[in-house]
Amino acid sequence: MTVKIKKGLDIRMKGKAVFNLISVPETELFALKPTDFPGLIPKLAVKPDDKVKLGSTLFYDKYRPEVKFTSPVSGTVVAVNRGERRRILEVVVKSDNQNITVDLKIGDLSSLSGENVINILLSSGLWPTIRQRPFNIIANPEDKPRSIFISGFDSAPLAPDMNFVLQGLNEVFQKGVDVLSKLTEGKIHIGVKANTLDDSVFNSLSNVEITEFAGPHPAGNVGIQINHTDPVNKGEVVWVVNPQDVVMIGRLFETGVLDVERIIAFVGSEVINPIYYKTKLGMSVKEMVETNASGSNLRYISGNALTGTAINREGYIGYYDQQLTVIPEGNYFEPFGWMMPRLNKFSISMSYFSWMMPKKEFIFDTNLNGGKRNFVMTGQYEKVFPMNIYPVELLKAIIVEDFDLMENLGIYEVAEEDMALCEFVCTSKTEVQAILRKGFEYMLKELG
């Protein structure tokens, strides 16, 4: 089955990665960031100078202690960086390059029950790779998900090509799928980019329901795919996993050893050679940036330019992120910018001239390109939001904290990334994703 997504926008950014995979030059520092997990209250399990193994718990969820976050390498905890009100921002581990692992004692998958699988995932620290919809938070191990969705491609600006990233991993991906199928009575859905199935790792999979998706971003967002195949209703829970994390889960059960390899695309207009890097979860970006990005006054984004998180030059890749984007900062004053033709700037609206250059790849900076206003223009979000939901009305329901209205207008079906394009196109420069996250927090609090 092929689903055609009509609304959306492919933002043409400069700096797409070429199909070339290399290892990162010697990197010692790795970190897990509790801030990558919305709503998490972390409790530390280690302190600086503690020796840890690959798979040792660094911190865990205060309210669900069985959900553990484990070290991606063996070595020494060198720092616990804190922010305002002593909130934990990063737990940094210095690798000793020994890869001494915690012994997990995994038996044969066919003999394991769902509960066994959950326990292995929890103790290995791979559980947080499984997230739930609604609210896009770490899945609750006690839930019975209606089904599990995996998006087989990423349509975000400059996103890695999953067919390239996953090539040759057919067997281990199948293993990961088999593991996940122990967690749900329902189906495992995989969304594949239209016309790429034959060349992809997904072609040979069994035990899955494959749907092809055609159209512009956000067609590759798992939330959009869920909405167009089997939308989330009130009271239902579905789980989602990134394809690279399926591989990680597959490897764990295949070899019995935790292996947190993660391929990321290093992209953006300020990258010298946009390329794919073989990294590990939470790796420091310092070496990549120093050897392969040019210029100063740059923004380093863990993730893509629509949904990512800004990190500094010595920051760490986010837990769910598959790309590192580097673009110029936009902290400059532009004389009469709003009156100028601005031939080198992109706009979805016809009020600039980027429509005349349908092939041009644009250099984007982080300037807001205007001031914040109340909602004024209408019909803009709807053009880039392919769900049968009224986005502005939903945001207004969140702003006034109307629980019933949020529920009725479909808050269970969306994640921040699904509405990121709305934020991008907004004339009033509204912070759509932040509002949405507030709505999720409010709903979670009310639902208890």
> Within positions 350 to 379, which residues make up the interface with other proteins, using CB under 8 A?
350-352, 354, 364-379
Segment interacting with other proteins, rule: CB under 8 A, options 44-52, 160-168, 194-202, 341-349 = 341-349
d(CA 393, CA 32) in angstroms, rounded, equals: 36
CB of 370 to other proteins, least distance (A): 2
Which residues lie below 8 Å from residue 277, measured CB to CB, with a gap of 6+? Answer: 21, 22, 23, 24, 263, 264, 265, 266, 288
Q: Per CB under 8 A, does 269 bind other proteins?
A: no
Copy the structure tokens of residue 336. 């009469």
CB of 104 to other proteins, least distance (A): 34
Q: Which of 28, 382, 402, 441 binds other proteins (CB under 8 A)?
A: 382
Q: Which of 271, 327, 406, 443 binds other proteins (CB under 8 A)?
A: 327
Measured CA distances, 181 to 153, 178, 219, 230 (Å): 20, 5, 24, 18
Q: Per CB under 8 A, does 329 bind other proteins?
A: yes
Size of the site for other proteins (CB under 8 A): 76
Edge-to-edge strands, sheet with 188-193: 2-4, 209-214, 188-193, 148-151, 238-241, 130-133, 137-138
Name the residue among 60, 80, 56 with its Cα closest to residue 70.
56
Q: Which of 66, 429, 445, 447 binds other proteins (CB under 8 A)?
A: 429
Residue with tokens 């050897």: 291
Residue with tokens 């996103």: 159
Residues 13-52 that bind other proteins (CB under 8 A): 13
Q: Per CB under 8 A, does 388 bind other proteins?
A: yes
Segment interacting with other proteins, rule: CB under 8 A, options 132-140, 160-168, 191-199, 390-398 = 390-398
CB of 388 to other proteins, least distance (A): 7
Residue with tokens 């795919």: 225
CB of 417 to other proteins, least distance (A): 10
Name the residue among 426, 436, 320 with its Cα closest to residue 382.
426
Pattern 132-171, other proteins, x by CB under 8 A: -------------------------x--------------
Query: Residue 333 or 448: which CB sits closer to other proteins?
Result: 333
Q: Are 160 and 323 in contact (CB under 8 A)?
A: yes
Residues 74-133 that bind other proteins (CB under 8 A): none
CB of 273 to other proteins, least distance (A): 22
Q: Indicate the DSSP class of residue 362.
A: B
Segment interacting with other proteins, rule: CB under 8 A, options 14-22, 84-92, 203-211, 417-425 = 417-425
Q: Which of 324, 392, 398, 415 binds other proteins (CB under 8 A)?
A: 392
Residues 301-320 that bind other proteins (CB under 8 A): 301, 305-310
Q: Per CB under 8 A, does 401 bind other proteins?
A: no
CB of 92 to other proteins, least distance (A): 19
Q: Are 285 and 316 in contact (CB under 8 A)?
A: yes
Beta pairing partners, 271: 293
Q: Which of 197, 231, 257, 278 binds other proteins (CB under 8 A)?
A: 231
Segment interacting with other proteins, rule: CB under 8 A, options 24-32, 60-68, 113-121, 233-241 = 233-241
Copy the structure tokens of residue 338. 């709003």
Segment interacting with other proteins, rule: CB under 8 A, options 71-79, 100-108, 217-225, 230-238 = 230-238
Q: Are 222 and 159 in contact (CB under 8 A)?
A: no
Q: 404-434 in b/e burial notation, b at 16+ Cβ within 10 A?
A: eebbebbbbbbbbbbbbbbbbbbeeebebbe
